[in-house]
């Protein structure tokens, strides 16, 4: 994908004269297959399904890191300043920070915000789109010949050109601080001082994290991926939600289908990915402290669970993506709570 093309809507704003890539039918088919893997997160809402993707339009080259990576749980340093933040500017009519994120919106307001984000897209959001709130990804009402299909409903913090360029240069950073920076660019919400509860990283391919706002009233789930079909992207599983509205899955519900993979990779389509890339975030029972995934092809992958919150970014080496891996839940003392599959 050309680096001059849009990082989601942010790069459309910065490079408004550049044409958008056409929709890839094979990519849409792949996303359709993935959409069948649903995961419930919002209480009473049924689930979170991957239905589309946002192109980040960037090189997968990793940039220099500025902090030591923390295993699974970390949070960046918080700084204070008496001057205006050069990295974000206000969005007209939208509250700044957490106040502008995760709130339910009328369709007219969604269309207004998406027109600010994608000024060259002259069509409305689908009227039947669910989850009309800032921080969620919705589809436009497509017409024949249309290109860009989605809009992540922006919050009140518009990222600067420098911040967008940093995300474009390093789409899947090694540190959680830089991951929060990239998530901020996608959401148009400054998340840099949010506390990361759990995270996972497949270097160069995907990162997944769950973070809580300083007030504790909001949660962000953010998955950054590089795939052979769409290039760098923000997964539509990513969203900002109110903490009070979140529910929990049972361990069995989380791993209804033991992960054999979600996205196929091969040396001919992606030189960093041979196997199947699996990404997910969610919440399970609070007594689970760690989960181990062991695919039939061999190897294992451990994820840390924090008050039930978990994040997975894992590349299975099984080229057949057989869904018969074993998943084991452990408590904080290392005792086995439940085993699925295997």
SS (H, E, C) the chain: CCCCCCCHHHHHHHCCCCCCCCCCHHHHHHHHHHCCCEECCECCCCCEECCCCEECCCCCCCCCCCCCCCCCCCCCCCCCCCCCCCCEEECCCCCCHHHHCCCECCHHHHHHHHHHHCCCCCCCECCCCCCCECCCEEEECCCCCCCCCEEECCCCEEECHHHHHHHHHCCCCCCHHHHHHHHHHHHCCCCCCCEEEEEEEECCCEEEEEEECCCCCEEEEEEEEEECCCEEEECCCCEEEEHHHECCCCHHHHCCCCCCCCEEECCCCCCCCCEEEEEEEEECCCCCCEEEEECCCCCCEEEECECCEEEEEEEECCCCCCCCCEEEEECCCCCEEEEECC
Count the domains in the chain: 1
Average pLDDT on 205-215 reads 95
Q: Say if 243 falls within a structural domain.
A: yes
Query: Is position 46 within any domain?
Result: yes
The arithmetic mean of pLDDT across residues 140-165, rounded, is 86
Q: Is residue 74 part of a domain?
A: yes
Predicted confidence (pLDDT) at residue 6 exceeds the cutoff of 80: no
**What pLDDT is stored for residue 290 in this prediction?**
97
- Give yes or no for residue 43 having a pLDDT over 60: no
Average pLDDT estimate for 237-253: 91
The answer to whether position 320 is within a domain reads yes
% of the chain residues with pLDDT over 70 = 65
18 occurs within a structural domain: no
Which pLDDT band, with edges at 50, 70 and 90, does 157 fall under? very high
Predicted confidence at residue 120, as pLDDT, reads: 84
Q: Give the structural domain span for 198.
A: 24-88+161-340
More confident of the two residues 232 and 2? 232
Answer yes or no: is pLDDT of 253 > 70.
yes
| pLDDT 10s digits, 62-95 | 222 223 233 333 344 444 344 467 899 999 999 9
Residue 146 lies in a domain: no
pLDDT in tens, 260-317: 555 555 444 455 556 677 889 999 999 999 999 988 778 889 999 999 999 999 887 7
Residue 101 has pLDDT above 80, yes or no: yes
Q: What is the pLDDT of residue 262?
A: 55
**pLDDT at residue 258 in the model:** 63
Question: Residue 260's pLDDT is what?
Answer: 55
pLDDT of residue 268: 47
> Which pLDDT score is estimated for 16?
39
Q: pTM, whole model, 2 decimals?
A: 0.73
Residue 130 is assigned to a structural domain of this protein:
no
Instruction: Give the pLDDT score at 51.
Output: 27
Has residue 306 been placed in a domain? yes
Residue 118 has pLDDT above 70, yes or no: yes
Strand partners, 241: 219
Pairwise CA distance, residues 237 & 183, whole Å:
13
What's the mean per-residue pLDDT of the chain? Answer: 74
């Amino acid at each position: 994908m050309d680096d001059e093309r849009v990082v989601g809507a942010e790069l459309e704003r910065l490079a408004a004269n550049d044409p958008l890539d056409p929709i890839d039918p094979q990519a849409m088919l792949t996303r359709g297959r993935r959409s069948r893997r649903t995961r419930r997160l919002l209480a009473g809402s049924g689930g979170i399904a991957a239905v589309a993707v946002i192109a980040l339009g960037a090189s997968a080259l990793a940039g220099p890191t500025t902090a030591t990576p923390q295993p699974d749980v970390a949070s960046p340093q918080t700084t204070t300043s008496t001057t205006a933040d050069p990295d974000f500017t206000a969005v007209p009519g939208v509250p700044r920070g957490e106040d502008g994120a995760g709130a339910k919106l009328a369709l007219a307001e969604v269309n207004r915000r998406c027109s600010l984000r994608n000024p060259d897209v002259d069509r409305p959001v689908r009227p039947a789109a669910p989850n009309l709130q800032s921080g969620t990804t919705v589809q436009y009402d497509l017409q024949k010949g249309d290109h860009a299909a989605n809009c992540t409903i922006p919050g009140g913090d518009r990222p600067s050109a420098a911040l967008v360029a940093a995300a474009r240069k390093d789409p899947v950073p090694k540190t959680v601080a830089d991951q929060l920076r990239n998530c901020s660019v996608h959401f148009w919400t400054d998340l840099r001082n949010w506390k990361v509860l759990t995270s996972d990283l497949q270097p160069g391919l995907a990162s997944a994290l769950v973070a809580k706002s300083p007030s504790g009233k909001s949660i962000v789930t953010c998955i950054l991926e590089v795939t052979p079909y769409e290039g760098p992207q923000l997964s539509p599983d990513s969203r900002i939600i109110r903490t009070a509205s979140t529910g929990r899955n049972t361990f069995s519900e989380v791993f209804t289908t033991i992960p054999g993979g979600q996205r196929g990779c091969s040396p001919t389509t992606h030189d960093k990915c041979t196997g199947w890339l699996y990404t997910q975030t969610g919440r399970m029972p609070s007594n689970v402290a760690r989960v181990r995934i062991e695919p039939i092809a061999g190897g294992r992958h451990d994820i840390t669970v924090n008050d039930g919150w978990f994040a997975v970014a894992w590349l299975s080496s099984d080229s057949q993506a057989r869904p018969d891996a074993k998943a084991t839940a452990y408590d904080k003392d290392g005792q086995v709570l439940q085993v699925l599959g295997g």
